Amino acid sequence: MATEEQQFLEDYEPKEYPSVALTVDLVVFAVTDSVLHAVFIRRGGRPFRGALALPGGFVKPDEDALHAAWRELEEETGLDLGRHRAHVEQLATYSSPERDPRMRVVSVAHLALLATDSRTLPGLSPGSDASAAHWKPVHEVLADEELAFDHRDILTEALERLAGKIEYTLTAARLVPEEFALYQLRHVYDAVWNSRLDAGNFTRKMTGALTDTGRKVARSKGAPATVFTVKDEYLSPPLVRPAAGAHR
Amino acid sequence: MATEEQQFLEDYEPKEYPSVALTVDLVVFAVTDSVLHAVFIRRGGRPFRGALALPGGFVKPDEDALHAAWRELEEETGLDLGRHRAHVEQLATYSSPERDPRMRVVSVAHLALLATDSRTLPGLSPGSDASAAHWKPVHEVLADEELAFDHRDILTEALERLAGKIEYTLTAARLVPEEFALYQLRHVYDAVWNSRLDAGNFTRKMTGALTDTGRKVARSKGAPATVFTVKDEYLSPPLVRPAAGAHR
DNA sequence: TCGTTTATTGTCACTCTGACAATAAGCAGT
DNA sequence: ACTGCTTATTGTCAGAGTGACAATAAACGA
């Protein structure tokens, strides 16, 4: 039967079917000093000249969307992924026929999370494909900037997805080194939720899902913090995002 | 500038780019007698002749994926959507180059929820496009049947998405008439989670997000149940899915 | 050594939870 | 009409989890 099936496939002639160009778009997040940043590219050409856009590119014939997302992440940001902790997952697919005025382009949006030491953003190589990839604070961009195509929708959805997902998973730890102190993780939550969580309660609720390495790390001021490692993938019970305006 | 932009678009010549065929696949869920069902089509042609497949079809040049999903839902199941309460949302996009052995096909999977009276499944018109669309219990199919292409992955992801989403939203009410009794909603949770929730606790936790219509409806046996309507979109606090094996 | 800063632990009143009991309200058969 | 059965809804209760905040411990710099 296998040979019969092979014969069928060799004889198969694709019929008429509508075809589209397939791209990936990337929302690349990283956190410094409790502020959530994302990678943007200032558009040089039309349409949307001068507006900010998300990095992205075409999916090649022999790769799937996730693979294309990793490749574009490396090409457009110039990041050495052998050295950087990174996480990429699919967000959603944008397929409105009018989303690119030039032609029919369907884009699979992805969420990428880069680990930082909480102080410096991963360096974006200037010699890369992208004319001018750079980090910008997400909340400021959403408030002030014009974004090309439907990239504002994509960015908003990415932020909401991340904000929701860290409630019941340890995805926030993807934005922090493999070994980290609780204040680093808490700053990620504060950056994403735009909140100011109570340190004591955060410790109580988070430690159950973490492994204590036994080591401590000193900050410039104050008591040294314990170094942890992720133990569980899920948070149970979940952490709930405080309502809009944090208290103090 | 608008005219200049128009001129640019008129002169624009699409360059070389890889192109793919874009389809939608549908996971159509409905609940009867506390059992979760989905629509399947028995494949007549190759490849995967004889296996079960999910309904779906090509996205046309002038529509987006969500529109195509609604259209295919109507065409392949023969459902009159003017009469049926239905909800459709995007699930994820499957783009492995080998997922269809005939050619490069990228599919945007969708989750569709059809409301039922908890006793009968929506009728699938036999005169429709699909050779033999029919309802099958989801858990049985996952246990016993061969599924074409990557449709097992899609079905699994759809189930997990639904199971997770009803924890913190009232999405379960999409599988039930606009006005419903609590036992109907509870049966949806039982069907999706494969659980047997306590009726008293379910009432306590759910009523806060519902509106009491003041009316009651009698079942064949037992006390009449209050008729409710959905008030909130989100459940707070969320309902948590009991661990694997339910108690009784 | 003192004052400042920060991590971690403790406290407390309050809420929410699951398990299960009690009550109320229908139906079917006698 | 009464009995028994079934189901919806409300109640009970001990235990777990919560936010706000206080107390303790452990650095660092002057």
In whole angstroms, what is the distance from residue B175 CA to residue B187 CA?
A: 10
Split at pLDDT 50, 70, 90, the class of B80 is: confident
Sketch out chain A's domains with CATH numbers.
Answer: 21-166 (3.90.79.10), 167-230 (1.10.10.10)
Mutation target to probe the B interface, by most B beta carbons within 10 A, among A62, A95, A165 is A95
CA distance A63 to A32: 33
Share the mean pLDDT of chain A. 89
Residue B142 has phi, psi (to 5 degrees) of: -65, -30
Query: Rounded to 5 degrees, what are φ and ψ at B136?
Result: -140, 145
For residue A131, give the nearest of A21, A242, A49, A8 by alpha carbon.
A49
Give the helix/strand (H/E) hosting B114: strand B105-114
A62 touches chain B (CB under 8 A): yes
First and final C-alpha spacing in chain A? 70
Tokens 């022999």, located at residue? A62
For residue A15, pLDDT over 90 is answered with no
Asked if strand D comes closer than 7 Å to B196 Cβ, the answer is no
Which residues, other chains included, contact A36 with Cβ-Cβ below 8 Å and sequence gap of 6+?
A: A29, A30, A137, A138, A139, A159, A191, A192
Segment holding A134, helix H or strand E: strand A133-137
pLDDT digits (tens, 9 = 90+) for A94-131: 999 999 988 999 999 999 999 999 888 887 776 555 56
CA-CA-CA-CA dihedral for A231, A237, A239, A243, to nearest 10: 170
What is the nearest nucleotide to A222, using C1' and CA?
C6
| Rounded Cα gap, residues B177 and B187, in angstroms | 13
Q: Is B62 within 8 Å of A97 when comparing Cβ atoms?
A: yes
pLDDT band of residue A11 (cuts 50, 70, 90) is: low
Touching check for B44 and chain A: CB below 8 Å? no
Work out the pLDDT band at B248, boundaries 50, 70, 90. very low
Eight-class DSSP state of A234 = B
Question: Using alpha carbons only, what angle is made at residue B170 by residues B164 and B174, rounded to the nearest 5 degrees?
Answer: 100
Choice between B209 and A18, residue whose per-residue pLDDT is larger: B209
Q: Which residue is nearest to nucleotide D11 (CA to C1')?
A: B200
Phi/psi for A219 (5° steps) reads -95, 175
Per-residue model confidence (pLDDT) at position B59: 96
Compute the average pLDDT of residues A123-146: 81
- State how beta strands B19-32 and B105-114 pair: parallel
CA distance A21 to B199: 51
Q: What is the DSSP letter of B13?
A: -
If we measure between CA atoms, which residue out of B193, B204, B9 comes closest to residue A47? B9
If we measure between CA atoms, which residue out of B137, B241, B246 comes closest to residue B196? B246
Record: contact B97-A64, CB cut-off 8 A: yes
Q: Is B90 on the interface with A (CB under 8 A)?
A: yes
Distance, in angstroms, between B48 CA and closest chain A CA?
9
Which of A11, A20, A70, A160 best probes binding to B when mutated, by most B CB atoms within 10 angstroms? A20
Rounded to an integer, what distance in angstroms lies between the CA atom of residue A153 and that of residue A158?
9
Q: What is the pLDDT of residue A78?
A: 84
Average pLDDT over residues B30-42: 95
Residue B128 has pLDDT above 60, yes or no: no
Where do the DSSP E strands lie in chain A?
19-32, 35-42, 52-53, 56-58, 86-94, 105-114, 133-137, 180-181, 210-217, 225-230
Mean of all residue pLDDT scores within chain B: 89
Distance CA A214, CA A197 (A): 24
CB A113 within 8 A of CB A174: yes
What would the two tokens of residue B15 be?
């360059």
Q: List alpha helices for A172-231, DSSP H.
A: 182-193, 199-206
**Chain A, window 170-199: residues with a beta carbon less than 8 angstroms from a chain B beta carbon:** none
A95 interfacial to chain B (CB closer than 8 Å): yes
List bases, strand D, within 7 Å of protein CB: 5-11, 17-23, 25-29
Inter-CA distances, A209 with A68, A195, A228, A229, Å = 33, 21, 10, 9
- Tokens for A107, please give them: 């884009």
Q: Tokens standing for B65? A: 């994926």
Q: Which residues pair with A211 in a beta bridge?
A: A229
pLDDT tens-digit series, residues B150-193: 999 999 999 999 999 999 999 999 999 999 999 999 999 999 99
Check CB contact under 8 Å for A20 and B22: yes
pLDDT-derived band at A206 (thresholds 50, 70, 90) equals: very high
Residue B104 and residue B28: Cα distance in Å, rounded? 24
